[in-house]
Structure 1
């Protein structure tokens, strides 16, 4: 314990320092973390990092998926559900199938089941890696929403493939009828359990006398409950967390007060950042042990690297083929929703760019590490070390090669500078703020017009609201005025919620303004 604890604290410190360095260099921090983990692993005397395969999913995935479900724009997901659904399910299956066929034919000792196992592991792109890399370039909200929605759902589809392949490897057989029923139960049961538990959690937050610390503590354990209960009944824990997280995200204004939302945002941002950082460091730290396992099986390191590079190439080609297939299908069956561009060349460049965004990361590592060391009969799991090594090479190559070149390709192609969206962000923000200001003034005027001549606080609110001027002191803000102000802020939230139904308004702008309202309410309480 005295050896591991300082090492874990040093890992967290390294994550923070490397993230700051990556920001200064304007590159994605997962790239530096993986390379740093690899470099640190060669330092002699460091404790060996070993994670129990049975716990890897349970420790890392629930909070990462839950936080992703809270931050993604559900409105944008509904808008682009066809392409998100195709990338999250059809493309993942096509990618896994491509990897399975390649591995079965070109990697000695790989059965089709082992190939599907490897395909299920490396098929889902990583949301954290993609978000960190695209942070330094401007991409349209629609493209960002597609990538975020895909990354949120493809974890579930890839892990379902992973689970079925794991059963096929262990039993040596695959019964389609049983697999179909199990597949349906995993999807329907996972979504149903997630929604049911989320409904219960929302009611609990509303009924219990919670404050900000207790609300935040409950949200930290709720994704673990969703995942654990769903997995206990053999449904999809990933889908339970995703569906439950989306439901609770939509209800956040109902069951969380402004203090819980403000403080919870900071806590979750830091918590998920540390989890992601540790996982990316572990990716590098695990390599020496994996290499040792390869050598014990007589597999040459150069051969294993070649396998990893070829699998990476298969993944990139499969994603690009899928992107072009999606564009062609859209042009044929739904030309009205096809991406608009000023030239045919740029339209056909878009799928290639989407195909280049398939960086792998946390989920692939978690799945690979979750492969059991031995089968139920006691025999060693076939090709486990080679699968782990190929996964590491895929993560490293996609992060370093695609991750470092993607921002350059986006800037060089100028594709997203040409592609216009409905209204610029500045226009949408101006429209939202102007409408909110007029709505707030009319609310105060209609609600308290008869009181304004008898109450200095109400008169000041009406007089100064449009200009948002601050008084020299807050003596005029008595309890009655505070109550009016709080009621007005709640009315603003209702207005923004209705405004968010407008497809032309970006949900991220709405969320930013809601956050400002929460800050205003907390400032008011401190007066």
Structure 2
């Protein structure tokens, strides 16, 4: 314990420092974390990093998926559900199948079941890596929504493949009828379980006298409980967390007050940042043990590296092919939603860039480490160390090659130039703000006309909307006027909720305004 704790604290400090360095260099911090973990792993005397395979999913995946579900725009997911669904399910299955066939052909001793196991592990792109890279480049909201939605759902589809392949390897057989029923139960049961538990949590938040600390503590418990309960019923814990998280996110204004939302945002941002950092460091720190396992099985390191490179190339090619197939299908079957571009070159560049966003990371590592060391009969799990090593090579190469070059592809490929209009985005934000101010003015005029003429405070709001944030004078604010202000803020939230139903309105702008309203409410509470 006295050895592990300082090492753990040093890991967190390294994560923070490397993130600062990554921001300065304008590269994704997962890249530096993986490389740093790899370099540190060669330092003699450091404690070995070992995680119980049975706990790896439960420790890391639920909170990471839950936070991603809270961050994504549900409206944008519904708008682009066809392409998100195709990338999250069809492309993942196609990628896993391609890897399975390739591994079965090229790697000695690799059965189709082991190939699908490897394919299920390495097929889902990593949302954290993509998101970290997108901070340094500008892409259209449409593309961002597709990538976020895909990354939220492809984890579930890949882990379903992983689970069935694991059963096939362990039992040596695969019954299609039974697998189909189990597949349906995992999807329907997992989604339903997540929604039911999310509804129960909403009622707990609403009906119990919770405060901000209690609300935040409950949100930390919720993803773990959703995952655990779903797994007990042998359905998809990942889908339970995703669907439950989306339901809670879409109803956050109902069961959380402004204090809980503001404080919870900061807590979750820090919590998920540390979890992601630890996972990417573990990717590098695990390598010496994996290499040692390869040597014990008599597999040459150079041969294993070649396998990893081949699988990485297959993954990249499969995703790019899928991106172009999606573009062709959209042009043929749904030409109205196909993006309008000014040149053929830009049209051809868009699927290439979308295909190049397939960096692997947290989920792939978690799935690989979750492979049991032995089968149920006590014999060693076949090629476990080779699968772990290939996964490590895939993560490392996609982060370094695709992660470092993606910003340049986006910047110099000019694929999104037709969709990036800063002036239009600025105008959209201004329009939402003006509509909101217009709504506030008429709300006060129509509902509190008597107070308008008898109280200088509200008159000041109407005449000097911006100045009231800088006013430190508290003698004009009493409990009655506070009540009016709180009612006004709630009215703004309802107005924004209605405005958000317009599909043409960017939900990020709505969320920004809602956050500003929460901050304003907190400021009023402190007066």
Asked whether the equivalents of residues 121 and 162 of structure 1 are also in contact (C-alpha less than 8 Å), the reply is: yes
Distance 1:342 1:420 in 2: 13
| In the alignment, structure 1 residue 145 sits paired with structure 2 residue 150 | no
Superposed CA offset, 1:221-280 (max 9, x none): 100000000001100000000000000000000000000000000000000000000000
Q: TM-score, normalising length from structure 1?
A: 0.98
- Go from structure 1 to structure 2 and tell me whether the alpha carbon gap of 1:247 and 1:206 turns closer, same or farther (over 3 Å shift): same
State the SS of the aligned residue for 2:204. Answer: helix
Distance 1:412 1:519 in 2: 39
Superposed CA offset, 1:391-416 (max 9, x none): 00000000000000000111111211
How far residue 469 of structure 1 moved from its aligned partner, in angstroms, is 6.5
| In the alignment, structure 1 residue 70 sits paired with structure 2 residue 70 | yes
The aligned runs of 1:217-256 (5 Å cut-off) are 217-256=217-256
- Go from structure 1 to structure 2 and tell me whether the alpha carbon gap of 1:466 and 1:445 turns closer, same or farther (over 3 Å shift): farther
How far residue 461 of structure 1 moved from its aligned partner, in angstroms, is 3.4
| In the alignment, structure 1 residue 460 sits paired with structure 2 residue 456 | no
Distance 2:451 2:479 in 1: 15
1:196 aligns to what?
196
The aligned runs of 1:480-495 (5 Å cut-off) are 480-495=480-495
Distance 1:45 1:467 in 2: 60
Superposed CA offset, 1:462-518 (max 9, x none): 443376574461210111111111110110111111111112211111111111110
Distance 2:202 2:134 in 1: 33
2:505 aligns to what?
505
The aligned runs of 1:55-134 (5 Å cut-off) are 55-134=55-134
Asked whether the equivalents of residues 223 and 241 of structure 2 are also in contact (C-alpha less than 8 Å), the reply is: yes
How far residue 419 of structure 1 moved from its aligned partner, in angstroms, is 3.0
State the SS of the aligned residue for 1:415. Answer: coil
Structure 1: unaligned runs, 5 residues or longer: none
Distance 1:410 1:470 in 2: 41
- Go from structure 1 to structure 2 and tell me whether the alpha carbon gap of 1:212 and 1:367 turns closer, same or farther (over 3 Å shift): same
How far residue 344 of structure 1 moved from its aligned partner, in angstroms, is 1.4
1:355 aligns to what?
355
2:520 aligns to what?
520
1:477 aligns to what?
477
The aligned runs of 1:303-314 (5 Å cut-off) are 303-314=303-314
How far residue 421 of structure 1 moved from its aligned partner, in angstroms, is 7.0
How far residue 195 of structure 1 moved from its aligned partner, in angstroms, is 0.1
Distance 1:470 1:480 in 2: 21
Distance 1:339 1:394 in 2: 32
1:275 aligns to what?
275
2:177 aligns to what?
177
Distance 1:141 1:468 in 2: 33
1:20 aligns to what?
20
Distance 2:452 2:339 in 1: 53
Superposed CA offset, 1:190-222 (max 9, x none): 000000000000000000111111100000010
State the SS of the aligned residue for 2:376. Answer: coil
Task: Say how many residue pairs are matched.
Answer: 527
- Go from structure 1 to structure 2 and tell me whether the alpha carbon gap of 1:382 and 1:308 turns closer, same or farther (over 3 Å shift): same
Distance 2:432 2:265 in 1: 23
Distance 2:472 2:275 in 1: 45
Asked whether the equivalents of residues 346 and 414 of structure 2 are also in contact (C-alpha less than 8 Å), the reply is: no
How far residue 420 of structure 1 moved from its aligned partner, in angstroms, is 5.1
Superposed CA offset, 1:51-73 (max 9, x none): 00000000000000000000001
Asked whether the equivalents of residues 104 and 110 of structure 1 are also in contact (C-alpha less than 8 Å), the reply is: yes
Superposed CA offset, 1:152-195 (max 9, x none): 00000000000000000000000001000000000000000000
How far residue 126 of structure 1 moved from its aligned partner, in angstroms, is 0.3
2:207 aligns to what?
207
| In the alignment, structure 1 residue 7 sits paired with structure 2 residue 35 | no
2:43 aligns to what?
43
Q: Which segment is superposed worse, 508-517 or 195-204?
A: 508-517
State the SS of the aligned residue for 1:320. Answer: helix
How far residue 348 of structure 1 moved from its aligned partner, in angstroms, is 1.4
Structure 2: unaligned runs, 5 residues or longer: none
Distance 2:167 2:472 in 1: 70
- Go from structure 1 to structure 2 and tell me whether the alpha carbon gap of 1:421 and 1:169 turns closer, same or farther (over 3 Å shift): farther
2:441 aligns to what?
441
1:284 aligns to what?
284
Distance 2:464 2:139 in 1: 38
2:301 aligns to what?
301
Asked whether the equivalents of residues 294 and 386 of structure 1 are also in contact (C-alpha less than 8 Å), the reply is: yes
State the SS of the aligned residue for 2:46. Answer: coil
How far residue 423 of structure 1 moved from its aligned partner, in angstroms, is 7.8
Superposed CA offset, 1:72-121 (max 9, x none): 01111111100000000000000000000000000000000000000000
| In the alignment, structure 1 residue 432 sits paired with structure 2 residue 432 | yes
